[in-house]
Amino acid sequence: MDEPKNSCASSDHKESTWENIDWNKCEKAVSKLQARIVKAQKEGKFGKVKALQWTLTHSFYAKALAVKRVTSNDGKKTSGVDKVLWSTPKSKYKAIFTLRRRGYKPQPLRRVFIKKHNGKQRPLGIPTMKDRAMQALHLLALEPVSETTADNYSFGFRKERGTADAMARCHTLLAKGYSPQWILEGDIKGCFDHISHDWLMKHIPMDKTILGKWLKCGYIFENEVFPTDEGTPQGGIISPTLANMALDGLQKLLEDNFPWEPKKGSTGWYCPKVRLVRFADDFIITGESKELLEQKVKPLVASFLAERGLTLSQEKTLITHIEDGFDFLGFNVRKFNGTLLTRPAKDRVKRMLDKVKQEIHRSRGTSQHELIMRLNPILKGWANYYQYSAASETFRKADHLIFKKLWRWGIRRHGNKNRTWIKQRYFHKIGNRDWVFATTKIDSKGEEYFVPLTILFNTKIQTYPQLKCDLNPFDPEWTEYREKRRTVKMKMSMSGKRTLFNIWKRQNQRCPICGEPITVETPWHTMMSTVNGKNSLSIVHESCYLSVTHKKKCKNERVSE
């Protein structure tokens, strides 16, 4: 194998095989360099930032983490135009040494289209595995800078931030009696597809040669090559960060143009209440009046976007009064008699019920247990997304509509049976609740237990812990706060499951199989494992659990043959 010389990272060391790589050591080495980049960026030492980025992108540990990321995420089974996948330990280890800057030339993207909920199609550009790994590598060096310079109230595609943080910020801005009453709902037309390449090349602090090659690599559709003259492809690992950096600065622009100022004819102060909440290319801006947002704020935003080659979508950019309500990130935010309520948006409820209906229709000939296994992930995920909003009434209504669909499913399966028979076969009494759609199973001890369908109304509505919005996940100063916040969120998600919470802490908050952190955002599963010759319960990532059980199943099948 043609391996390059050791990089300039002093802690670098090449392991002999993929299985022997110490991932904790990799993460510590990379985190140390990222912390130094943050420190240099805060001190304004941009030459040092560039030198540290160079060191990081030539580090063996960083390259290993980049390969690990692209071979363990959801796109690991999707190839680019070269049809190459890194599926074996040998191919993954060999791939580490292909991530060189010298002679690197990205291949065109594979263009595919996915259907949006409104019937339109969204174009995706799928890079090759090598190009994805190169993007992941350079993202490790770019993210510390982007997080240091980012808008505080930008929540999309950023570490340890999500929609719940954005909605909590909306509630803080709009819930008070003196809060702004008007909202500009902003939507950028084709944000990823139209960002100016010239602006990105001038303002993104990373290796310009590599960035230029990515932006101009083109794409292949129906065996024909097309050039890319603008935009950054949806589907690239680094694209969300590039888009975020292009939109950063909007918050400061608004704060500079609409500050607190002395009130005319009074000794007090006046505030126009112009505040921003952004999630990727969707954003809202609050204001004290419709005229302020229409005549001053909207033109200012349009001018800001025009410099970056972007425009506002005329059909989706609206100015709304808080008592009429607005939809943002799947939530409806509206004031009723002075009380602000954040609830699931009607279209999201309909989409969820349509998905449930499709699964029930697909399962006309399958068992009840299989139908429950198909529906539970949909219902659990949807309930968890809305558990921090005023969703109890929506959950109750949705449960009733799902029950009616399941009842019709049972009647269609057994047209010659009476209603009592169908009820006794498919619906059971569990605890104090009757008419629970559940199936029965026998455990290893021969005892019968129920496997019920998830009931949305059982989801506990909780108050989301407010985020300190100047958080920088790459800055060591925030380490203690991040650990406390991660623990609080995990404890909330495991409410009533003290034993599981203690197991999670005993595992140092990490999956014993892959070594990656287990958080509220990462789906997890429990499984029995052998530690020091004793069987004990462990918490692992759901993907790791499925991988282990699949291997055991294949092994048992080979033994039986």
Question: What CATH number is given to the structural domain containing 546?
Answer: 3.40.1800
* Domain match, 453 and 502 both: no
pLDDT in tens, 426-472: 999 998 999 999 998 887 777 888 999 999 999 999 999 989 999 99
pLDDT in tens, 363-386: 888 999 999 999 999 999 999 999
Q: Is residue 157 part of a domain?
A: no
pLDDT in tens, 14-62: 568 898 998 889 999 999 999 999 999 999 999 999 999 999 999 999 9
- Identify the domain containing residue 46 by its residue range: 23-149+195-235
pLDDT of residue 5: 43
Task: Kindly compute the dihedral angle of the four CA atoms of residues 465, 188, 133, 82, in this order, to the nearest 10 degrees.
Answer: 140
* pLDDT at position 96 over 80: yes
* Domain match, 126 and 207 both: yes
pLDDT of residue 533: 64
Q: Is residue 323 part of a domain?
A: no
- Give the residue from 235, 258, 291 where a domain finishes: 235
Q: Is residue 27 part of a domain?
A: yes
Rounded Cα distance between 414 and 357, Å, is 19
* Domain match, 216 and 70 both: yes
Residue 560 pLDDT level (bands cut at 50, 70, 90): low
For the record, the structure tokens of 260 come out as 């607190």
Between 499 and 3, residue with greater pLDDT: 499
Where helices occur in 205-295 by DSSP H, the ranges are 208-215, 239-247, 250-257, 290-292
Residue 531 pLDDT level (bands cut at 50, 70, 90): low
pLDDT in tens, 99-156: 999 999 999 999 988 887 777 788 888 999 999 999 999 999 999 999 999 999 999 9
* Domain match, 493 and 428 both: no
* Domain match, 507 and 383 both: no
* Domain match, 135 and 225 both: yes
Q: Is residue 446 part of a domain?
A: yes
Percent of the chain past pLDDT 90, that is, above it, reads 67
* pLDDT at position 548 over 80: no
* Domain match, 89 and 224 both: yes
Q: Is residue 242 part of a domain?
A: no
* Domain match, 480 and 446 both: no
Residue 6 pLDDT level (bands cut at 50, 70, 90): very low
Q: Is residue 187 part of a domain?
A: no
Residue 505 pLDDT level (bands cut at 50, 70, 90): confident
pLDDT in tens, 193-209: 899 999 999 999 999 99
* Domain match, 92 and 208 both: yes
**Which pTM value belongs to this model?**
0.89
**Count of domains observed in the chain:** 3
Q: Is residue 115 part of a domain?
A: yes
Q: What DSSP string describes 135-168?
A: HHHHHHHHHHHHHHHS-TTB-TT-TT--HHHHHH
pLDDT of residue 516: 78
Rounded Cα distance between 351 and 370, Å, is 22
Rounded Cα distance between 349 and 8, Å, is 53
* pLDDT at position 228 over 80: yes
For the record, the structure tokens of 268 come out as 């007090």
Rounded Cα distance between 335 and 390, Å, is 12
* Domain match, 96 and 199 both: yes
Nearest to 255 by CA among 237, 272, 241, 232: 272
* pLDDT at position 540 over 90: no
- Give the residue from 204, 235, 266 where a domain finishes: 235
Q: Is residue 532 part of a domain?
A: yes
pLDDT of residue 14: 59
* Domain match, 101 and 51 both: yes
Task: Kindly compute the dihedral angle of the four CA atoms of residues 175, 352, 346, 284, in this order, to the nearest 10 degrees.
Answer: 50
Rounded Cα distance between 225 and 227, Å, is 7
Rounded Cα distance between 279 and 7, Å, is 37
- Give the residue from 401, 430, 458 where a domain finishes: 458
pLDDT in tens, 479-496: 999 999 988 888 888 877
Q: Tell me phi and psi for residue 182, to 5 degrees.
A: -120, 145
* Domain match, 39 and 136 both: yes
Question: What does pLDDT average to over the chain?
Answer: 89
For the record, the structure tokens of 534 come out as 């004793």
